[in-house]
Structure 1
Amino acid sequence: MNRGERGRREYEGLMGHGPEEALGEVLRTSPQMFEAVVEGAFGGALARPELSRRARELASVAIIAAMGGAERRLASHVRGALRQGVEPSELLALCEHISVYAGFPRALDALAVVNGVLEEQGGAKPPRTHRVALADHETVVAQKGEHGPAVILSHSLGVDWRMWEPVMERLANGRRVFAYDFRGHGAAAGAPRPFTMDDLAADLLGVLDAFDVDRAHVVGLSMGGGIAQTVAVRAPERVASLALLATTDHAFDSFEARARSGEADGMEAQIVPTLTRWFTPAALATDPWGVRYARERIRRFDSADWAAAWRAFRGVDVQGRLTGEDFPTLVLAGELDASTTPEIMSGIAGRVPGSTYRELPGTPHMQTLERPDLVAEALDDFLPADR
Structure 2
Amino acid sequence: MTYKQIGWKELAAITGPQSKKSVEKIREISPLLAESLVEHAFGTLFTASPLPRRDQELVTISLLGAMGGAEPQLRTHLEAALRVGADPDELIALAEHLSVYACYPRALNLLRETRVILADKNLCTLKETRKVDLHDHDTRVFDSGGVKPVLVLIHALAMDWRMWREVIPNLSANFRVIAYDIRGFGCAAEAPSAAGLETYALDLSDLLNKLGVTQAHIAGLSLGGSIAQHLALKDPSRFHSLTIIAATAWPLEVFTQRADAAVLAGMDAQVIPSLTRWFRPEDLAENSWAVRYARNNVQRAFVSGWQAGWMALASIETGKRLNEITVPTHIVAGELDVSTPPELMKGFLAIPGASFEIIAGAPHMISLVYPHELAAAITRGTGLRQPALDIE
**Normalised TM-score (structure 2):** 0.94
Query: Who is 2:357 aligned against?
Result: 358
Query: Who is 2:211 aligned against?
Result: 211
> Distance in 2 between the 1:157 and 1:289 partners?
18
Conserved in 1, the CA contact under 8 Å of 2:194 and 2:200?
Answer: no
Q: Does 1:337 align with 2:337?
A: yes
Query: Who is 1:157 aligned against?
Result: 157
Query: Who is 1:371 aligned against?
Result: 370
Task: Output aligned runs, 1:231-310, within 5 Å.
Answer: 231-310=231-310
Query: Who is 1:92 aligned against?
Result: 92
Q: CA deviation at 1:215?
A: 0.5
CA spacing shift, 1:3–1:147, aligned 2, 3 Å: farther
> Distance in 2 between the 1:173 and 1:124 partners?
15
Conserved in 2, the CA contact under 8 Å of 1:11 and 1:18?
Answer: no
Q: CA deviation at 1:10?
A: 0.4
Equivalent position SS for 1:330: strand
- The answer for unaligned runs of 5 or more in structure 2 is none
CA spacing shift, 1:264–1:55, aligned 2, 3 Å: same
> Distance in 2 between the 1:203 and 1:181 partners?
10
Equivalent position SS for 2:166: helix
CA spacing shift, 1:163–1:253, aligned 2, 3 Å: same
Equivalent position SS for 2:321: coil
Q: CA deviation at 1:341?
A: 0.5
Conserved in 2, the CA contact under 8 Å of 1:320 and 1:351?
Answer: no
Equivalent position SS for 2:331: strand
Conserved in 2, the CA contact under 8 Å of 1:12 and 1:19?
Answer: yes
Q: CA deviation at 1:145?
A: 4.4
Q: CA deviation at 1:326?
A: 4.1
Equivalent position SS for 1:44: helix
> Distance in 2 between the 1:352 and 1:249 partners?
11
Amino acid at match of 1:276: T
Q: CA deviation at 1:259?
A: 1.1
Query: Who is 1:380 aligned against?
Result: 379
Q: CA deviation at 1:202?
A: 0.9
**Normalised TM-score (structure 1):** 0.95
> Distance in 2 between the 1:378 and 1:21 partners?
46
- The answer for unaligned runs of 5 or more in structure 1 is none
1:182-210 CA-partner distances (Å, limit 9, x unpaired): 11111111211352211100111111112
Q: Does 1:52 align with 2:48?
A: no
Query: Who is 2:176 aligned against?
Result: 176
> Distance in 2 between the 1:41 and 1:148 partners?
54
Conserved in 1, the CA contact under 8 Å of 2:156 and 2:224?
Answer: yes
Task: Output aligned runs, 1:197-208, within 5 Å.
Answer: 197-208=197-208
Q: CA deviation at 1:376?
A: 2.1
Equivalent position SS for 2:319: coil
Query: Who is 2:107 aligned against?
Result: 107
Task: Output aligned runs, 1:18-167, within 5 Å.
Answer: 18-167=18-167
Q: CA deviation at 1:338?
A: 0.4
1:133-181 CA-partner distances (Å, limit 9, x unpaired): 1111111111224231111111111111111111111111121111101
> Distance in 1 between the 2:71 and 2:323 partners?
59
Q: CA deviation at 1:367?
A: 0.8
Conserved in 1, the CA contact under 8 Å of 2:232 and 2:327?
Answer: no
Identity %: 39
> Distance in 2 between the 1:73 and 1:320 partners?
62
| Count of aligned positions | 386
Query: Who is 2:189 aligned against?
Result: 189
Q: CA deviation at 1:27?
A: 2.9
Conserved in 1, the CA contact under 8 Å of 2:161 and 2:179?
Answer: yes
Equivalent position SS for 1:126: coil
Q: CA deviation at 1:18?
A: 4.8
